Amino acid sequence: MAQRIDFQTDPSRYRHWRVEYDGEIANLYMDVDENGGLFDGYQLKLNSYDLGVDIELADVVQRMRFEHPEVKVVIMQSGKEKVFCSGANIRMLAGAAHAHKVNFCKFTNETRNTFEAAEADSGQKYICAVKGACAGGGYELALACNYIMLTDDSSSSVALPEVPLLAVLPGTGGLTRVTDKRKVRRDRADIFCSIEEGIKGKRARDWNLVDEVIPNAKFDDTVQERAKEFVAASGKASGLKGVELTPIDRTFGDDGSVTYSLVEVTLDRDAGKATILIKGPDGDAPADMAAMQAEGASTYMLRLARELDDAILHLRLNERQLGLMVFTTQGDPEKVLAHEAVLLADKDNWLANEILAYWKRVLKRVDMTSRSLVALVEHGSCYAGVLAELLWSVDRSYMMEGEFDGDNRPLATVTLSESNFGTFPMSNDLTRLQTRFLGTPEDVVALKDRIGEPMEAEAADEAGLVTMILDDIDWDDEVRIFLEERASFSPDAMTGMEANLRFAGPETMETRIFGRLTAWQNWIFQRPNAVGEDGALRRYGTGKRGDYNMERV
């Protein structure tokens, strides 16, 4: 069996990052252990990275928000001399399976989006302090920061050399952030992305590739001064105390199943299917946010978000042959709403804000998952509030109608809450309901009048909240036929179709980044010019350039 990739870690196990906390400033050092690769066959030289390095970074960013809310500025910097980061490890990319490369890029995108949004979502501003070569994925780390500072010396530069060196594209939104975020002029961007050596000093600033260039002798002091200025200008409250993100409770079965405290993942390999059961609260809602903070990481809303997030990532990377994800829920919808209501009633509380922002990211993770997604609204389910969002993340939803013989569970319902109308926007900056009813926005307005109403099958169907309602006679056959049909289709065609259909509405920088990853990078990663025996990735470091088929598409 292939090595299972574990997305859970903690600071005691970091091999590639370290953090030094200085009150409201955190100094984050990238110091990659070159012998600490996730797989055999390559060394992570020159602060290059693989998925293991990024798993640690994702953990750092998450803990920064929950365990260290006192932090207002994070300085990302290198722990090595004369190199900031040389990007994704080329040997790793050359040897990795295609699906691993694409899922690696997707996870790194999600991680960069998280710290890029930390200033707006959490009042934590990321400064990137670049000393030495900052190339490829290294510059993409910088691009996702809120402010980039570059030292002015003979060895420090920023570069996106993937096209000339490797015959691939920057996989973590580099091209898009250069034009959309940094707003670099197109002809200058064309030069920048076509040269191997990158751009240094004053030109990097003049082209808006960085925000500030500082003489080397003054660089370290200026970075700290700038951080203090940003702290002073921050509107974030001071003196906040965090909650510890204790280890997630989970066990792995011999058959590949995963059991958490609130999530159960079961696999049917013959059917190409993974079923994710989400459980409702196992206790009453805390009285207020003070009580919720006292519960810490065990509180229902945070615990469930962490477990579901881990389950999605596990299935993405470790169970790539399973093309179907089936979501089910069981529990008391009123209890789900009660737990959510504590957060919604005190949104200005730092922990309430962080938990809601985390749910926004988890739901986006579902949106971006390249599987066929279906939700089953069975009797006894708890699709209410935040959990109802899953019904509009998936490709289809089936709901039980009326009583089923021998089933004594409460009748299936869907219940809307305030959160469904703006708390969890998609990557297109619309809510899932706005995206669902793109052609009839008045339907979304009308649904606000039904907040708190437990809608049974007929009402949910009339409101357009589910795909199909089925009675006792048709349920088993209709659901079975759909799942079998879906599993029989080409996964390539399914991935393309689903990615096109899920993101109606306006384009944003985020949708463009992921759309281009799904289409162009996915395609280029399979082309012989890049990954063939004589392709650029294979020949990198040998002194020979790639042997290209020069035919354009």
| CATH code of the domain in which 347 resides | 3.90.226.10
**Is residue 112 within 8 Å of 147, Cβ to Cβ?**
no
Q: What percent of the chain has pLDDT over 70?
A: 100
Query: Which whole-number Å values give the CA distances from 373 to 328, 350, 499, 502, in the listed order?
Result: 11, 32, 12, 11
Are residue 15 and residue 147 in the same domain, yes or no?
yes
| pLDDT, tens digit, 9 for 90 and up, residues 41-81 | 999 999 999 999 999 999 999 999 999 999 999 999 999 99
Are residue 229 and residue 141 in the same domain, yes or no?
yes
Classify 84 as helix, strand or coil.
strand
Tell me the residue type at 345. A
Q: How many helices (H) and strands (E) does the chain have?
A: 24, 21
**Is residue 172 within 8 Å of 165, Cβ to Cβ?**
no
Tell me the residue type at 346. D
The 3-state secondary structure of 275-286, one letter per residue: EEEEECCCCCCC
Are residue 66 and residue 97 in the same domain, yes or no?
yes
Strand order of the β-sheet with 324-330 is 250-252, 258-260, 263-268, 273-279, 324-330, 372-377, 396-400, 468-470
| pLDDT, tens digit, 9 for 90 and up, residues 435-472 | 999 999 999 999 999 999 999 999 999 999 999 999 99
The whole-number pLDDT of residue 487 equals: 92
Which band of pLDDT confidence, cut at 50, 70 and 90, is reported for residue 229?
Answer: very high
Are residue 419 and residue 463 in the same domain, yes or no?
yes
Residue partners of 54: CB distance under 8 A and separation at least 6: 104, 107, 108, 111
Closest CA to 194 of 176, 213, 169: 169
What's the average model confidence in pLDDT over 353-364? Answer: 98
Which band of pLDDT confidence, cut at 50, 70 and 90, is reported for residue 1?
Answer: very low
The whole-number pLDDT of residue 172 equals: 86
- Assess if residue 545 is contained within a domain: no
Tokens of 50: 């693989």
Residues 528 and 539: their CA atoms lie apart, in Å, by 12
The whole-number pLDDT of residue 31 equals: 98
Are residue 265 and residue 169 in the same domain, yes or no?
no
What's the average model confidence in pLDDT over 234-242? Answer: 96
Q: Which of 205, 233, 261 is the last residue before a domain boundary?
A: 233
The whole-number pLDDT of residue 552 equals: 87
Are residue 229 and residue 255 in the same domain, yes or no?
no
The domain total for the chain is: 2
Please check the confidence at residue 553 and state whether its pLDDT lies above 90: no
Q: Containing domain of residue 37, as a range?
A: 11-233
Are residue 265 and residue 217 in the same domain, yes or no?
no
Residues 17 and 57: their CA atoms lie apart, in Å, by 7
| pLDDT, tens digit, 9 for 90 and up, residues 169-192 | 898 899 999 999 999 999 999 999
Please check the confidence at residue 518 and state whether its pLDDT lies above 80: no
The stretches of 67-128 forming alpha helices (DSSP H) are 90-95, 98-116, 118-122
Tokens of 470: 């089925």
Strand order of the β-sheet with 17-22 is 17-22, 25-30, 73-78, 125-130, 147-152, 212-215
Please check the confidence at residue 330 and state whether its pLDDT lies above 50: yes
Pairing of strands 250-252, 258-260: antiparallel
- Assess if residue 526 is contained within a domain: no
- Assess if residue 535 is contained within a domain: no
Tokens 């002798």 correspond to what residue? 217
- Assess if residue 377 is contained within a domain: yes
Classify 210 as helix, strand or coil.
coil
Query: Which whole-number Å values give the CA distances from 390 to 82, 396, 490, 514, in the listed order?
Result: 47, 10, 24, 20
Are residue 206 and residue 265 in the same domain, yes or no?
no
What's the average model confidence in pLDDT over 487-511? Answer: 91
Q: Which of 201, 233, 265 is the last residue before a domain boundary?
A: 233
Are residue 52 and residue 113 in the same domain, yes or no?
yes
The residue with greater pLDDT, 551 or 125, is 125
What's the average model confidence in pLDDT over 308-322? Answer: 96
Question: Measured at the alpha carbon of residue 292, what is the angle toward residues 289 and 298, in degrees to the nearest 5?
Answer: 160
Tokens 């399976």 correspond to what residue? 97
Which stretch of DSSP H or E encloses residue 339?
A: helix 333-344
- Assess if residue 218 is contained within a domain: yes
**Is residue 226 within 8 Å of 214, Cβ to Cβ?**
no
Please check the confidence at residue 523 and state whether its pLDDT lies above 90: no
Phi, psi of 291 (to 5 degrees): -70, -35
Closest CA to 282 of 352, 362, 349, 338: 338
- pTM to 2 decimals? 0.96
Are residue 159 and residue 292 in the same domain, yes or no?
no
The whole-number pLDDT of residue 503 equals: 85
| pLDDT, tens digit, 9 for 90 and up, residues 375-385 | 999 999 999 99
Are residue 132 and residue 170 in the same domain, yes or no?
yes
Residue partners of 521: CB distance under 8 A and separation at least 6: 102, 105, 168, 169, 171
The whole-number pLDDT of residue 522 equals: 81
The whole-number pLDDT of residue 196 equals: 93
What's the average model confidence in pLDDT over 505-510? Answer: 94
For the chain, give the mean pLDDT: 96
- Assess if residue 550 is contained within a domain: no
- Assess if residue 522 is contained within a domain: no
Please check the confidence at residue 2 and state whether its pLDDT lies above 80: no
- Assess if residue 523 is contained within a domain: no
Residues 131 and 533: their CA atoms lie apart, in Å, by 35
Are residue 226 and residue 255 in the same domain, yes or no?
no
Residues 540 and 94: their CA atoms lie apart, in Å, by 9
The whole-number pLDDT of residue 541 equals: 86
Q: What is the largest CA-CA distance in the chain?
A: 79
The whole-number pLDDT of residue 234 equals: 97
